[in-house]
Structure 1
């Protein structure tokens, strides 16, 4: 603790206790007074000091506030030392996808659903798991070793589908992958083995690889699925209007985000 911090803490204590009750130790103390006439020992108990303001105002427990992130609810309770982790393929947004997002959000309003578009597009290769802080270096090293033999490949996007998360608290509209499926399966199998080494849950069986472009709160699967025929018809028109580069990506790296850290794994 710096000198300024120590002085601030001392001032906080002094502001909550009287001058005559200042203790000489950090635990509950007793002060002795000797009466000069009868030499009797009198014991005066000191009132326990209140906690400093910085402790009161900064409790260790973190309470989730959905209003800070568009009403989304944490799938995992916050716990010190636990890092939310997942592996994915980044997908750079473009003009064609932005047009599609705008079209999808407007169409959803017909069912009184307010969709929100994603800023950072990606294709998930693992579930969202909890990684202990002291595992991070070992986990990243394991991923690097196992992903080192994969080569670059192309994924192309096809049609729109509707998805929900496991808790049914959010619904998504995403673009399904048309090509690159076999390579994605091999990547998932490789990552599943890495997760298994750390006793972490594997990816979903028979995965539907996709890139989510918009989401809403709650389970609105049926309403959004009723719009799919119209949305996919409009998607075909957009695909003919915008060049093919808007609808595919050349996968050159896998990313792993754990907490606020992002690790890159370049493909051959």
Structure 2
């Protein structure tokens, strides 16, 4: 992007970049307007945003809203996270975006998970809202995100791959909007919970990960896990407010839309991944593959 801006710099900045150039501004041009110009045309606005850019949202100042890790970074420490990747079906994204549009104005400070973009800044553009909020991979955590030492990496990966070397596919039903607050009550999350289809299988996988964590003296997952994906977050503990807003919206949806659907969307189990530091490792293979 910087190269593009440099290419389209004005005459004076181009002169200043050349140590041998005359610093006197050039005289007015007497060029015949009918002659073709050597000047480059203004750049297309789309060129100033890379293909995967969020456009103007790349330049939002998030300030204090930026998320922070729950444990201090130390030399030789790597963040470990074991999870099931989840992609929301295209047909569901529009419906979820409309839900966020109704909830966001009533709950100050909601942000897109991971992108850390304020949801209020996306409400005027449905396409941008869908793109920023849902065009990415979500995850169901199978263990806490914890720091490990460099000498533990190979052992943990080997045990995970041995335990999950083969696995059958199954369907996961995401069927309940829920609100969660982290342990130190510094973040509140708007999430979609798994309470039926797939719950038994995920619970068994969490128990298996717990055993591996325990062998490495790592803290185990919650005693009564509630598998979910997080859609949005806010600073502090605003759980009560967010729960009231979500409950009211769900009630309105049932009354106005006449729907009492049993699930929000369904996703097929696509494997298990393990993130250590900045590297993602594929853990699970399927029996039919």
Call closer, same or farther: CA 1:196–1:246 in 2, change over 3 Å.
Answer: same
The normalised TM-score by structure 2 is 0.62
Which segment is superposed worse, 142-151 or 95-104? 95-104
**Residue 71 (structure 1) aligned with residue 89 (structure 2):** no
Cα deviation digits, residues 173-211 of structure 1 (max 9, x gap)? 111113111111110111111111111011101111111
Match of 1:251 in 2: 269
Q: 1:167 aligns with which of 164, 178, 184?
A: 184
Match of 1:84 in 2: 79
- Secondary structure of the 2:95 match is helix
Task: Choose between structure 1 and 2: higher strand proportion.
Answer: 1
Runs of 5+ consecutive residues of structure 1 not aligned to the other structure: 1-65
Q: Distance in 2 between matches of 1:149 and 1:93?
A: 24
Q: Distance in 1 between matches of 2:139 and 2:106?
A: 27
Q: 1:137 aligns with which of 154, 176, 190?
A: 154
Call closer, same or farther: CA 1:97–1:230 in 2, change over 3 Å.
Answer: farther
Question: Is the Cα contact below 8 Å between 2:175 and 2:263 reproduced in 1?
Answer: no
Runs of 5+ consecutive residues of structure 2 not aligned to the other structure: 1-60, 115-135
- Secondary structure of the 1:267 match is coil
Match of 2:227 in 1: 209
Q: 1:122 aligns with which of 134, 139, 145?
A: 139
Match of 1:104 in 2: 100
Call closer, same or farther: CA 1:67–1:214 in 2, change over 3 Å.
Answer: closer
Match of 2:201 in 1: 183
- Secondary structure of the 2:175 match is strand
Match of 1:16 in 2: none
Match of 2:121 in 1: none
Question: Is the Cα contact below 8 Å between 1:173 and 1:215 reproduced in 2?
Answer: yes
Call closer, same or farther: CA 1:252–1:115 in 2, change over 3 Å.
Answer: closer
Q: Distance in 2 between matches of 1:147 and 1:235?
A: 40
Q: Which one has the largest radius of gyration?
A: 1
- Secondary structure of the 2:168 match is coil
Q: Distance in 1 between matches of 2:184 and 2:94?
A: 28
Question: Is the Cα contact below 8 Å between 1:175 and 1:210 reproduced in 2?
Answer: yes
> Aligned pair count?
202
Question: Is the Cα contact below 8 Å between 1:101 and 1:213 reproduced in 2?
Answer: no
Which segment is superposed worse, 106-115 or 133-142? 106-115
Match of 2:131 in 1: none
Match of 1:267 in 2: 286
Call closer, same or farther: CA 1:170–1:196 in 2, change over 3 Å.
Answer: same
Q: CA deviation at 1:235?
A: 6.3
- Secondary structure of the 1:188 match is helix
Question: Is the Cα contact below 8 Å between 1:85 and 1:128 reproduced in 2?
Answer: yes
Cα deviation digits, residues 123-146 of structure 1 (max 9, x gap)? 111011111112111110010011
